[in-house]
Structure formats: C-alpha cells, structure tokens
Amino acid sequence: MNTSASGIPASVPRQVRRLNWLDNLRIALTVLVVIHHAAQPYGPEDWWYAEGQPRTPALATLSAVDGSFFMSLFFFVSAVFVPGSCRRRGFWRFLKGRLVRLGIPVVVGALTIVPGLMYAYYVHYRGYPPISFPRYFLDVYLGLGEKPTDWTGPSWPDLQFGHLWFIQNLLAYTVLYMVCSRVGRLLQRYYRGGRVCGARPAPGHRALAGLTAAITAATFLVRLWYPLDEWVPVLDFLQVEPARVPQYATFFILGVLAYRYAWLEEFDARVGWVWLGGGLAGTAVLFVIGADAACFAPGGFNGPALAWAAYDSALCVSLCVGLLTVFREAVTPKSRLSVELAADSYGVYILHVPLVVATQYCLTDHGLTAAGAWVTTSVLALALTFPLAAGLRRLPGFRRVL
C-alpha cells in the first residue's frame, strides 16, 4: 500500500502505474466498509459492540450483499501490487516493510483500539459489576483473571483483533505468496532451465463460470464444519472466518495473477458488463425475498446450505468482476482529492470502528429509525475518519505505517 507522490504505488511497473482507477476503487471499498459497520446494529443479527438498537430487514440484506464480495475485492486489489513491490525491493526488504506496514497496526490496535471497544461492550451490556479499564484489560481482555461462571462471551478471554483481522490475513497471505514465489522460482530453474511461462488470456465467461463453481464447492465443503460468522484462532494468533476463506484466498491469488498476466488491462469489458448485470439482478432478488429467507442457511449437508453457498459465491464473482469493470471503464479520473483520499484509506480502515461505535452509542434512545441512525452514523464517521487519518499520516512515526 506504499504510494508515490501521484498516489499510485511506486513499486509497480509502468503498465500498472497507469491504473489510477484502482485507487478510486480502493476509496469506494473503504467507504463501503465504514457504512457496512455503521449498519451492524441496525440490521443483521451478528454480534456487534452496540445492542438493543432498532432494526430493519433492508440493512440486514445490505450487510449480506456487502459480505458476499467486498472483502474479497479488497484482497484482490491489495494483491495486485504485491508481486511488483516484492520484486523491486527484494525479498527481505519487502518482508520488513510488510511487517511494519501491516504488523504494527495489528499489534498496536489489539492493545489499544480493540480493548477499548470490548470494554465499552463489557460495561454497557454484560451486566457485571463495574470495573476499571486497567483491571478489565488484565483480568478479562488478557484473561489473567478467573473466568466468570456466567460468562456471556462471545469468547474467553476478550482478546481479539476485531476489524483488524483483514490486515492480519493480508499479512499471512503475503508471506505465503513470498514463500511460494521463491520456491516456485527454484523449481522453475530446475525443471525449465529458467524459462518464463508465456502469457495467459484474461478470463472469459467460461473461466468465470468455472471459478464460481469451484468457489461454490469449496465454500460448501468448508461450511459443513464452519458456518458463517464462526471465527477460529489459527496458531492462537490469526483470526479467521473459515466460511469465507475460499473466497478471500482465491481473490488474493487472482490479484497476483492479474498483475503477472496484465489481466486488468486485457480483460474484455463486455464480459464484465454481463457479469455486473447478473450481480445486480442477484442483489435485487435478495432485497425482494429478504436476507432472512435466503441468507445464513445453517451449515451441513443439505439443500439450503448448498443453495446459499452457490448464491453467495455467484454474487462474489459477479460483483467483484462487475465493479472492476465499472471503475476501469467509467471511474478513471485522478485529482488531487482522489490522491489524498486514496492515501488516507488505509488509516480510515484502521481507525473508523471506534468512531462508528461511539456514534452508535450516542444515538441510542434518541428516537431515530434504524435507517436514520445508520445514515447519521455513516455520514459522521466518514466526515471524521478521513480527516483524522490524513492528520495522523503526516505525523512523525505514523508515516511509515499509515
């Protein structure tokens, strides 16, 4: 995510430098993340830091649609710039930069931002006697105290990484790519005498249909054991939602391949428009029938689980392909404002949740409808978070990270 003065990552070759629309897409995805989290207590039944809020089915459906594709697209966009940066900077220098850029926010956020959010939830909703933040941090968040017999969860201890899971997973995928890339080069030299593989055409309808079927099968199999919204710790550190891993890992790999074979430039827009139409139609159907009727089918070997795995995967592929097409074909202008917003987007992702939750707490019991509270939270959070990220990014010590 390091950028040059123009706002385009400086580590990529000339053919990718010209893709200013990727920065515009990254801004849009960051905004979507903020408004997605702003909707959490007002629609879906997922666990969130604020409870007891008015709800509306439309926001539950919106969250289901968002969840089907937007983080997969984030992984794709992030992966596009990984190979070129790794090649330009070298293995160890690039690894060190990723540990600074991605690792520091995860560690610092897990010790500051996330415990603050979990403490607010503990005080407001758990029903236990009030305790100070230092005591909560040691006894409950870190789990150094005794677990209450009537503990209400969602886990013990409260230690978690919250929305920083994406940065965690992105770091893990990047390291895996680096290892596989180095091993692949060694094997290529051994078996091919150093010859480079030829170009591969950009995916067409048949390839995208096959991709959708493959993601559906993998998603269905994983969800036999891990339904949606069930998170597991990997190596007691990595926070993973297995039900989404087939989508996330696939789109990270596709981002790497898109860089290698110049698919972002060569992809046929006519294919993209068709898949966008399918994604929008699927979204409209979901809003008509409602998220409760179609989404979050229980796991297991049954028809509803297979149907939702297929629908979810089809939305993922079609909306990702469609949005890439829209931004490449129609949202290409670069301005001083877009460069600034793109540079701030990483900081916004890290910082936005406390502002979103604080706004949701402040709006409680003020008589707003679910939609009104969601819109108010979204507008205030976006208006505050982008300037905050811009200011922090210019401070010494923050520049290398944000």
pTM, to two decimals: 0.91
Question: What does R_g of the chain's alpha carbons equal in angstroms?
Answer: 22
The residues, any chain, with a CB within 8 Å of residue 220's CB and separated by 6 or more, are 305, 306, 309, 310
Residue 111's pLDDT is 95
pLDDT tens digits, one per residue of 61-71: 999 999 999 99
pLDDT of residue 338: 93
Q: Residue 258's closest CA among 73, 98, 384, 102?
A: 73
Q: Of 309, 79, 313, whose CA–CA distance to 209 is shortest?
A: 313
pLDDT at 190: 67
| HSE (side-chain half, CA atoms, 13 Å) at 195 | 6
* Amino acid 151: pLDDT: 87
Q: What is the 3-state secondary structure (H, E, C) of 126-173?
A: CCCCCCCHHHHHHHHHCCCCCCCCCCCCCCCCCCCCHHHHHHHHHHHH
Q: Which of 257, 158, 147 is nearest to 201 (CA)?
A: 257
Alpha-carbon distance of 315 to 305, in angstroms, equals: 15
Query: pLDDT means per 10 residues in the chain (402 residues)?
Result: 39 51 96 98 92 93 94 97 91 93 96 96 90 96 91 85 96 95 76 61 96 97 92 87 97 96 94 98 90 58 88 97 96 92 97 97 94 98 97 90 88
Is 151 in contact with 101 (CB distance < 8 Å)? no
